[in-house]
Amino acid sequence: MTVLTDARIVLPDGVRHGDLHISDGTIVEATAASGGEVIDLGGRHVVPGFVDMHVHGGAGASYQLGRPDGVRRAAAYHLAHGTTTTLASLVTGPPDEFADAVASLADLASEGVIAGVHLEGPYLAPGRCGAHNPSLLRVPDLAEFRRLVRLGRGHLRMITLAPELPGGLDLVREAADTGVIAAVGHTDAPGATARAAFDAGARVATHLFNAMRPLHHREGGPVAAAVNDPRVTVELINDGVHVEPAVVRLAFAAAGPSRVALITDAMAAAGMGDGDYSLGGMDVEVRDGRALLAGGTSIAGSTITMADAFRRAVRDVGVPVHQAAEAASLTPARALGISSRVGSLEPGKDADLIVLDDDLRVAWVMKRGIRV
């Protein structure tokens, strides 16, 4: 038994001052049993471990090729900054390279290094491709998708696609039927097509506002379709670069913390500082923490951690701490269908948690009851 005493426990409905009991890696109800370790937190906040459903790498390593050493290094970096559950996101790549990466990442998901695989592409709109290699984009291919599902062995969790492409809605339906989350993103879809995709089973909007037809008062596009649909979780990259604080605040007001999922979209440069990097074979320049395609203006992911996104939500956007924690933990966990195990500090769930200092920065992290 481990007991965290004098804790400000952040729950979905607010903050409760008290003790948190942990046994065998699980949060448990208070017990009269004695013994074990007692840790006095001195009134510091405890939030659930962050769940990042969209991240490409960190610590100089990328998930793109599924190389075990690099995957472990990136996952460990984000874990140390509070992300106790992470998907490995892949940008568009050649078919065989893509397939090999999915198979390798499935092995690592089986080990628990990552929680699954997210394919961002290759079925994206050329005009909204962002940092994806336009020469590798292709129209939705059910045969290729089914092969990737087989290679994923149950660990392919999400695919981002543009539903307006030929066969796009068919692929959304196929994904929904096979238990893979379809996400609308990198899309030029009008609102009617985006709504059709959500009716067909899509349940996530990939990095809302970014790489999609913008909101217009006479054509709401995918932004209005996603925000107005209570079935849809909307991702937000809260790094101060992709979306300004006023717009983040608007998204929280419109969709609420139960449907806003903070993500990092972090690439290999996270934790490494400025320099020259690669993302899916595309050259990326990081200057002042901002990642852009070399020689261009397209943003190429971020360099933040979920801890940065969470703290920024509270400090810069003005989101209450319990709602920011929900957006960083429980909402993405719900979207991924794993909220029975992670995402909040409730009895019966994994003891994945973060102790914050007085400035809401990560002091230390616990995963399944073990400090990391």
Catalytic residues: 265
Confirm whether residue 211 is marked as ligand binding.
Answer: yes
> Rounded CA gap, 337 and 157, in Å?
10
Helical pair 191-200 and 168-178, crossing angle rounded to 10 deg: 30
196 contacts 185 by C-beta, under 8 angstroms: no
Confirm or deny that 132 is annotated as ligand binding. Answer: no
Residue type, 367: K
DSSP state of 214: P
Q: Do the annotations mark residue 207 as ligand-binding?
A: yes
Q: Is 354 annotated as a binding residue?
A: no
301 is in an annotated binding site: yes
Question: Which residue, chain included where needed, has tokens 């992290």?
Answer: 365
305 and 81 in contact (C-beta within 8 Å)? yes
Q: Please tell me the distance from the alpha carbon of residue 48 to that of residue 37, in angstroms, as a whole number.
A: 20
Assess contact for 115 and 152: CB atoms under 8 A: no
Instruction: Find the angle CA(224)-CA(225)-CA(226) to the nearest 5 degrees.
Output: 90
Contact 228, 288 (CB under 8 A): no
Helix axes 142-152, 95-111, angle to 10 degrees: 30
Token pair belonging to 252? 């929280």
| Residue 186 counted as an annotated binding residue | yes
Of 206, 133, 132, the residue nearest 163 (C-alpha): 206
DSSP state of 314: I
- CA dihedral 354→32→40→77, nearest 10 degrees, is -20
Place of tokens 């230390």: 364
Is residue 120 annotated as involved in ligand binding?
yes
| Most distant pair of Cα atoms in the chain: their distance | 65
Residue in 118, 126, 67, 368 with CA at minimum distance from that of residue 264:
118
Give the residue numbers of the binding site for Zn(2+).
120, 186, 207
Annotated binding residues for substrate, as ranges? Answer: 131, 210-211, 218, 242, 299-301
Extract the annotated binding site: 120, 131, 186, 207, 210-211, 218, 242, 299-301
